[in-house]
């Protein structure tokens, strides 16, 4: 990768984590880029509409988001998943999310919120799931061999207990315990693993023998109990299977095949 491209992508990734803007000098220092080079890159990003300069520094525009949403629209999986997510959200009263597999990442891309009042669990879309301690991550990993799963988790890193729930696995043995149990059930289930006081279940969306995404249901453990999770598991598995069948049809866009009217 060329140095300029590497620096430009680093700028985009760093700005994506700084919604309030970052001054030029701080960007250059934090990314170890010469001040003049950093300024030139920011000028180019501004010309292309990816960044803008304000009084408190530089920040991203929504063009990056538009690119991602445009890609997902063309792929079609989000549009096709929408009624399935809404159905699960209505049945569960909890947050239902779709994440998609992209190489070695699992990214939350769509959601439906069933609970309109009271305590709601609503993490930001567009972020990558922590594979070691989310139900979504475990649901993807259960479709892989132990070796493949550990390779992905090692690359991303284990979640630390202080950053996640009190039961977040921090060792290979602990993680494999979660995955082996999930394989027996056919779906992942966590209780105060990703976040204190929160529970979740998740099932992989399979295209033949490959997981292309995950559907999850998450909520407060006082309401979304283990019994409630088990009771909703059949509906979750059915939704994941239905979306997988759509993907296998080769018509994720939702448009009729050519010549079919």
Do 142 and 25 have their domain in common?
Answer: no
Please state the rounded mean pLDDT for residues 53-75. Answer: 72
The answer to whether residues 87 and 199 belong to one domain is yes
Whether residue 48 is found in the same domain as residue 128: no
Same domain, 104 and 37: no
Same-domain check for residues 100 and 211: yes
Residue with tokens 């959601």: 111
- Least confident segment among 12-21, 133-142, 208-217: 12-21
- Is pLDDT at 65 greater than 50 in this prediction? yes
- The number of domains in the chain is 2
Q: What is the span of the domain harbouring residue 135?
A: 74-248
Q: Which of 71, 84, 177 is nearest to 132 (CA)?
A: 177
Domain annotation covers residue 28: yes
- Crossing angle for the helix pair 77-92 and 63-75, nearest 10 degrees? 90
CATH number for the domain that contains residue 142: 3.30.450.40
130 & 218 share domain? yes
Average pLDDT of 6-27?
A: 88
Residue 192 CB neighbour total at 10 angstroms: 15
- Residues 11, 115 within the same domain: no
Contact status, residue 212 vs residue 206, Cβ threshold 8 Å: yes
Band of pLDDT at residue 249, cut at 50, 70 and 90: low
| pLDDT of 261 | 35
């Amino acid at each position: 990768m060329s140095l300029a491209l590497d620096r430009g992508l680093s700028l985009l990734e760093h700005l994506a984590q700084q919604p309030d803007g970052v001054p030029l000098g701080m960007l250059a220092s934090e990314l170890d880029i010469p001040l003049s080079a950093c300024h030139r890159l920011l000028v180019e990003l501004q010309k292309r509409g990816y960044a803008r300069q304000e009084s408190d520094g530089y920040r991203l525009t929504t063009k990056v988001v538009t690119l991602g949403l445009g890609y997902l629209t063309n792929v079609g999986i989000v549009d096709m998943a929408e009624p399935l997510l809404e159905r699960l959200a209505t049945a569960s009263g909890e947050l239902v999310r779709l994440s998609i597999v992209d190489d070695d990442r699992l990214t939350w891309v769509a959601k439906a919120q069933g609970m309109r009042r009271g305590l709601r669990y609503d993490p930001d879309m567009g972020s990558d799931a922590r594979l070691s301690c989310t139900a979504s991550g475990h649901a993807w990993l259960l479709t892989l061999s132990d070796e493949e799963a550990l390779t992905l988790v090692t690359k991303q890193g284990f979640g630390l207990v202080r950053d996640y729930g009190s039961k977040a696995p921090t060792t290979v043995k602990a993680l494999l315990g979660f995955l082996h149990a999930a394989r027996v059930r056919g779906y992942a289930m966590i209780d105060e693993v990703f976040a204190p006081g929160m529970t979740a279940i998740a099932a992989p969306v399979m295209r033949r023998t490959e997981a292309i995404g995950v559907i999850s249901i998450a909520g407060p453990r006082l309401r979304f109990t283990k019994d409630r999770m088990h009771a909703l598991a059949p509906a979750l598995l059915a939704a994941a299977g239905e979306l997988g069948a759509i993907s296998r049809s080769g018509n994720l866009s939702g448009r009729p095949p050519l010549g079919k009217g």
